Structure 1
Amino acid sequence: MNFSNEIRGLLGIKHDQTELKDVLYAFKARDIKSLDPLRVSFALETHLLEYLGDTLIRYDNENNCFIPHIAHHFDVDTSGKVWTFYLRKGVFFHNHDYVTSTDVAYTINRFKNTPPSYSWLVRNIQKVECPHPYKVEIHLDEPNPFLLRYLSAPIFCILPSNVEFEELEWSGTGPFLVKERTNIKLVLQANDFYFKERPLIDEIQFYHVSNEAVKMLYLSSEEDMSQIKPTRHKITNSGVQLLSFNLNRKNIIQQKTFREAIFHLFDVQKMAKDLEIDLVEASSLDIERSKSRSKSSNDIQTLIQLSGYGGEILNLYCFDHERARREGEWLKKEANKYGVHMNVYPTSYPDVLKEGIEEEIDMLIMGLSLSFDKHLAFSYAFMNKSFMFNRLFSKKIEELVHRKIRLFELESDIVKRTQIMDEVELYLQSELAMFFLYHPIITRNLDSNIRDVESHSFGHIDYTKVWIPN
C-alpha cells in the first residue's frame, strides 16, 4: 500500500529492541486540546482521560451496574444522602504520591469551586468529609441515585491535591502516563506501578496528521509503513449527528413551518448516497432506539411558502473538518434547489467554546460522541453548555428540558427513566428545536498485526487490551 510520506516523515523513533518495547503509532486528524478534566469537551480528549486517570467507581456496560475501582467498597446510608467510599491502599499517582481521601475531596471541590461546563455535576453535593485517609463521605442535599453515574464519568478522575493542576505536568493514577507532549505529538507510556492490570503495550505515540493520512492508517505497530496491510475495524455505536436551530434568532428560523421544510429537505439517505457515507439513520441519541423517519419532498415548497421566507441568507455552522464541511455544503446545495440560501461557516473547536458565537448561528450541524453508559450520556448531552446546540434553545425549551433531566436523574426506576428520555427527545423533535440525523459508522484502518482490538467508549479503541505478537 502506498502510504503517505507525511506519516513516514513523522516517525523518527523506531522500536528500541534493546529494551524490547512494544510501541503503537496512532494517527489523528486534529491536535489535542485541553486535557484538564474541567475543560474537556471532545471525544478524543475524554477518551484519553480514561488512560491517564481513574475514577472511584466504573460503569460495567455488560451488566449495567457500577463496580469498585479506586474505591474498593461503597455504600449509602438509609437517608440516601450520605455516600461513603472506602479507598484502596497503595494506589499511586504518576508523581508517586499515594491517593488518599484528601485527593478525592480536592477533585470534587475543584468542580464545585470552578464555573466551567461541568459544575452542574456537583450541584447536589453539599460537602465532602474525610474522616480517615482511606474513607471519604459525600453529603448530598437530597437523595440522588444518579450520583454513581456522575462519579464514574472519565472527567471525575482523581487528581493529586498537593500540586496545582498543570496541562503539561499531568499526574493521575491511570494505566498510562504522559511521557511527551508537543503540538503534533503525544506520547503515553505504560504505568509500571498501576494498581490494576498493566497495559500490554509499553508506549503509544499519537501524531497529528492530515485527514487523508488518517484514512489510510489509524493504528500501526511498525514504523515502516510500506509492508502493512491494514484491516478495517468498524465502530457502530460511537455517537450521533444532529441539526439544531437557533430559536433565539429573530428571523425566519422562528417559523416552525420553515424548520419543518428543512427537516424534510435533509434527506439523510440521499446524503449518504451522494457523499458515500456509511451510517444508520437516527431519531434518538441512542442507536438502539433509533428508526427512520418519514420525509416528504412534496411538502417542502409549500412549507417554505407558508413560512413567509423572503430569500434571506442563513448562517449554517459546522465543525471545521472534512466530513462536516461536506455535509454543510451538501445541505446548502439541496436547500438552493428550493430557493433557500445559506452560507456555510466551518468553525474551529476553540471558537465553538467562545461565548457569544451562538448569536451569529441560524442552524448548526454537529456530532456527539457518547459514553457506553447511555443514561449518563443522555444527561451529559443536554446539560453540558460546551455542546453548542444546548445554547440555541429558547428559554422555554431549555427550562422544560432541564426540568425533565432533573426528574430523570432523581428517578431510580430504569423503565421510568427511559420513558423520560423518550419524552425529551420527542418534545424537541415535535417543536423542531432540533432533529437527529444519523449515527456514524466509523471505520478504522488498523495494522493487522495488532491483536485483541476492542471498541471503547467515544468511538475509539481500548488501548489497554491490545498487544503485538513478537
Structure 2
Amino acid sequence: MKRKAWILAFALVFALSSILVGCAGNNTAGSKAKTFIYGRGADSKALDPIQVTDGESIKVAEQIFETLVKYKKENTEVEPGLAESWETSKDGLVWTFKLRQGIKFHDGTPFNAEAVAYNFNRWMDKSHPEHKGGEFPYYGYMFGGYKGDKGHVIKSVTAVDEYTVKFELNFPQGPFLSNLAMPVFGIASPTAVKKDPVQFNQNPVGTGPFKFKNWKKNDSITLEKNKDYWQKGYPKLDRLIFKSIPDNSARFTALQSGDIDMMDGLNPDDVKLVESNKQLQLFKQAGMNVAYLALNTEKKPLDHPKVRQALNHAVNKEGIIKSFYADLAVPAVNPMPDIIWGYNKEIKDYEYDLDKAKQLLAEAGYPNGFEIEFYAMTEPRPYMPNGKKVAEYMAADFEKIGVKTKIVTYDWQTYLDRTGKGEHAMALFGWNGDNGDPDNFLYVLLDKDNTRTPDAGNIAFYKSDELHEVLIQAQRESDQSKRSELYMKAQEIIKKDAPWVPLVHATVPFAAKAGVRGFVPHPTGSLNLHEVDLK
C-alpha cells in the first residue's frame, strides 16, 4: 500500500509539473517553445510568392522562401542571400552567381544551381509543364513579360555546375540585381512543385527560417522553426502564427490583452496610446509607399484627360491626412515618394480647387458632371488605414463638382481579382516599394506592359507609348544619373496625363509587446521575423 501511494504521489507531482512547464513555455525566453503571434488585417491569397502581388501573401511567404540576393536589414542595398557572390560581364548581359553549399529545402531536396534554373524557367516559360497554379504576375512586371515576348529581359538561366548558375540577358537591365532580391523571387523546392504545381501555393516548401505547418482560411497561418536552417542561431522563435483580425481596433484590443504579440494596421489615432503604455512599444516604417485613386482610362468618361485632371483638382489631400492619418503621412505629388532617387521635385501638384475642377469637366463635355462607381477596399492596408472612410470623404467633394459616386466594396481577395481584370471604373489602391528603384513604381504601376489581365499591375490601364519608351530606356541604362533624368521625364508625362490621383505617402506604424526584441521595420515592408525574439 505504501509503495502504491508513493507511486501515485510521484505521478501527481510529475503531472502538475508538466502542466506548469507547458503553461510557462509558450512565450517566455529560455522556455521550450516560443510562439509569436502576428496580428494583421487580412488573410493571404496564396503562399507561392511568384503567384501573388498582395502584401498579406508576401509577408508569410518570405518567412518560408529565400532569394539569391537580399536587402540589408535597414535599407534596399543588396547583399548575398542564397548566392554568396556574383559577377557580371562588362556589357551587363551575363550574370554569374556562386551559390552557398550544404543548404536543403524543407522537404530534404538539395538546394543547387539546377533548382535555381528550374524555378526561373518555370516562371518565364508559359509552356513549362509546371507553369501552373497562378499567373506569375510579378515575373512579367519586373522582367518585361515572359519567354517569347518582345521586351522579355532574361534570355536563359542555366546551371554551369552544381553551385554556379548563369543568367544571360537579352539586353541590360539597370534594376536587375535589385529585382532578384524581391521576396517574390523566392526559390521553391522543385520536388514539391512537381508533386502538385497547382496546390503548391497552399503547401509551400522553401529553404527559409520557417516551415509551413497549416492554414485555417480567414483565421490563421502557422509556421514552425526550420531546425536545419543554414544561418546558425536562427530563427529565434519556435512557432510563428499570422492571425487575421480585419478590424484595426479589434486587433489593437487583442494586442493590449496579450492575445497577440505584434500587429500592423495600427490606427494612426492609437499611436499615442501605444507610446504612453509601458507594456507596449511602437515601430515606424519609412513611407516608401503610395496610396492612390486609379482612374481606369479605358472607361468613359475617364478616357478624357481633362476629366482625370478635374478629379485631381477635387481631392483635398491635406484634409484626408488630418482626418485619417493623424498627420502620419505627406501629400503625394508623384507616383513615388521623394525618398527614392530620381524623384522629380520640380513637378507641381494639382491644387485643391473645385472651381477649376468644374471648369475642366465643362471643357471635357461634362458641365453637369456624371455618375460613376468608386471601388474602396474594406480591409486596412499599410498605406490606407480606412479605405471606405477615405472614399466617402473624397466622394463628398466629387459631388460638389457634379460627380456622383456609388461606393462599391468587396473582400480583399475579390477586390484584387476585380481590379486586376479591370472591372472597376475608379478604385482606391496603393503600393509599397519592393526594391528602392524608381522602376518598381513607374514601370510596374503605370507602363502599358503591365496592363495584362487578369493580374494587371497598372490598374489605370494607362497605355502611353511616350512613357513606355522613356521607361524602357531607363531600364536598359546602367548609369544611375542618366536613369534618374529619364525617370524625372517620366513623372512629367504621368502628371500631365493624370491616370491617377496620387493621395499620400504614409509612415506606417507597428505596435508590439514590450518584450519583443530584434524587430527592424524595413522600408519595403518586408518582415525579417527570423531575428525576432521574446523577452
Please say if residues 316 and 345 of structure 1, whose CA atoms lie closer than 8 Å, have aligned partners that are also in contact. Answer: yes
Partner of 1:390: 458
Moved more, 161-170 or 94-103: 161-170
Distance 1:221 1:406, change over 3 A: farther
Q: Which residue of 415, 420, 426 maps to 2:481? A: 415
Moved more, 19-28 or 211-220: 211-220
Query: In 1, distance between residues paired with 2:280 and 2:73?
Result: 29
Please say if residues 220 and 446 of structure 1, whose CA atoms lie closer than 8 Å, have aligned partners that are also in contact. Answer: no
Find the structure with the greater CA-based Rg: 2
Moved more, 60-69 or 297-306: 60-69
Q: How does 1:60-459 map to 2 (within 5 A)?
A: 60=72, 65-114=77-126, 116-120=136-140, 121=143, 123-164=152-193, 165=197, 166-183=200-217, 184-197=219-232, 198-211=234-247, 212-217=249-254, 229-249=279-299, 251-275=300-324, 277=326, 278-284=328-334, 285-288=336-339, 289=343, 293=349, 294-309=351-366, 310-321=368-379, 323-354=386-417, 360-375=423-438, 377-378=440-441, 379-382=443-446, 384-385=450-451, 390-395=458-463, 397=464, 399-459=465-525
Partner amino acid for 2:337? D
Deviation per residue, 1:46-97 (Å, 9 max, x gap): 2323221111112347686432221122112345322221111101111122
Query: In 2, distance between residues paired with 1:423 and 1:76?
Result: 29
Please say if residues 50 and 186 of structure 2, whose CA atoms lie closer than 8 Å, have aligned partners that are also in contact. Answer: no
Secondary structure class of the residue paired with 1:253: coil
Please say if residues 261 and 512 of structure 2, whose CA atoms lie closer than 8 Å, have aligned partners that are also in contact. Answer: no
Q: TM-score, normalised by structure 2?
A: 0.77
Query: In 2, distance between residues paired with 1:195 and 1:220?
Result: 36
Secondary structure class of the residue paired with 2:530: coil
Unaligned runs of 5+ in 2: 1-21, 127-134, 147-151, 263-276, 381-385
Partner amino acid for 1:104? V
Query: In 2, distance between residues paired with 1:202 and 1:376?
Result: 38
Moved more, 347-356 or 272-281: 347-356
Cα shift at 1:276: 5.3
Query: In 2, distance between residues paired with 1:131 and 1:50?
Result: 27
Query: In 1, distance between residues paired with 2:256 and 2:525?
Result: 14
Q: Which residue of 41, 44, 60 maps to 1:48? A: 60
Query: In 1, distance between residues paired with 2:109 and 2:409?
Result: 44
Secondary structure class of the residue paired with 2:529: coil
Query: In 2, distance between residues paired with 1:63 and 1:341?
Result: 43
Please say if residues 65 and 206 of structure 2, whose CA atoms lie closer than 8 Å, have aligned partners that are also in contact. Answer: yes
Please say if residues 220 and 243 of structure 2, whose CA atoms lie closer than 8 Å, have aligned partners that are also in contact. Answer: yes
Cα shift at 1:116: 3.4
Secondary structure class of the residue paired with 1:392: coil
Partner amino acid for 2:357? I
Query: In 1, distance between residues paired with 2:466 and 2:254?
Result: 45
Distance 1:61 1:416, change over 3 A: farther
Query: In 2, distance between residues paired with 1:129 and 1:423?
Result: 37
Secondary structure class of the residue paired with 1:390: coil
Query: In 1, distance between residues paired with 2:35 and 2:256?
Result: 11
Please say if residues 282 and 438 of structure 1, whose CA atoms lie closer than 8 Å, have aligned partners that are also in contact. Answer: yes
Partner amino acid for 2:413? P
Please say if residues 318 and 324 of structure 1, whose CA atoms lie closer than 8 Å, have aligned partners that are also in contact. Answer: yes
Distance 1:364 1:130, change over 3 A: same
Partner amino acid for 1:413? D
Distance 1:68 1:265, change over 3 A: same
Partner amino acid for 1:209? I
Cα shift at 1:367: 0.9
Please say if residues 219 and 446 of structure 1, whose CA atoms lie closer than 8 Å, have aligned partners that are also in contact. Answer: no
Cα shift at 1:254: 3.2
Distance 1:22 1:85, change over 3 A: same
Moved more, 295-304 or 350-359: 350-359
Cα shift at 1:273: 2.6
Please say if residues 238 and 442 of structure 1, whose CA atoms lie closer than 8 Å, have aligned partners that are also in contact. Answer: no
Secondary structure class of the residue paired with 2:118: helix
Please say if residues 375 and 408 of structure 2, whose CA atoms lie closer than 8 Å, have aligned partners that are also in contact. Answer: yes
Deviation per residue, 1:234-272 (Å, 9 max, x gap): 2232411012222212x3323333322211110111122
Query: In 2, distance between residues paired with 1:77 and 1:364?
Result: 43
Cα shift at 1:360: 4.5
Query: In 1, distance between residues paired with 2:23 and 2:364?
Result: 61
Secondary structure class of the residue paired with 1:464: helix
Secondary structure class of the residue paired with 2:413: helix
Please say if residues 220 and 450 of structure 1, whose CA atoms lie closer than 8 Å, have aligned partners that are also in contact. Answer: no
Please say if residues 38 and 260 of structure 2, whose CA atoms lie closer than 8 Å, have aligned partners that are also in contact. Answer: no
Deviation per residue, 1:351-398 (Å, 9 max, x gap): 345478755433222111222433453344346557656143343x1x
Query: In 1, distance between residues paired with 2:325 and 2:81?
Result: 43
Secondary structure class of the residue paired with 1:271: helix
Secondary structure class of the residue paired with 1:84: strand
Secondary structure class of the residue paired with 1:163: helix
Secondary structure class of the residue paired with 2:489: helix
Query: In 2, distance between residues paired with 1:407 and 1:266?
Result: 33
Cα shift at 1:215: 3.5
Distance 1:329 1:190, change over 3 A: same
Partner amino acid for 2:458? N
Q: TM-score, normalised by structure 1?
A: 0.86
Query: In 1, distance between residues paired with 2:99 and 2:435?
Result: 25
Please say if residues 97 and 166 of structure 2, whose CA atoms lie closer than 8 Å, have aligned partners that are also in contact. Answer: yes
Percent identity of equivalent pairs? 22
Query: In 2, distance between residues paired with 1:300 and 1:79?
Result: 49
Moved more, 336-345 or 291-300: 291-300
Please say if residues 220 and 447 of structure 1, whose CA atoms lie closer than 8 Å, have aligned partners that are also in contact. Answer: no
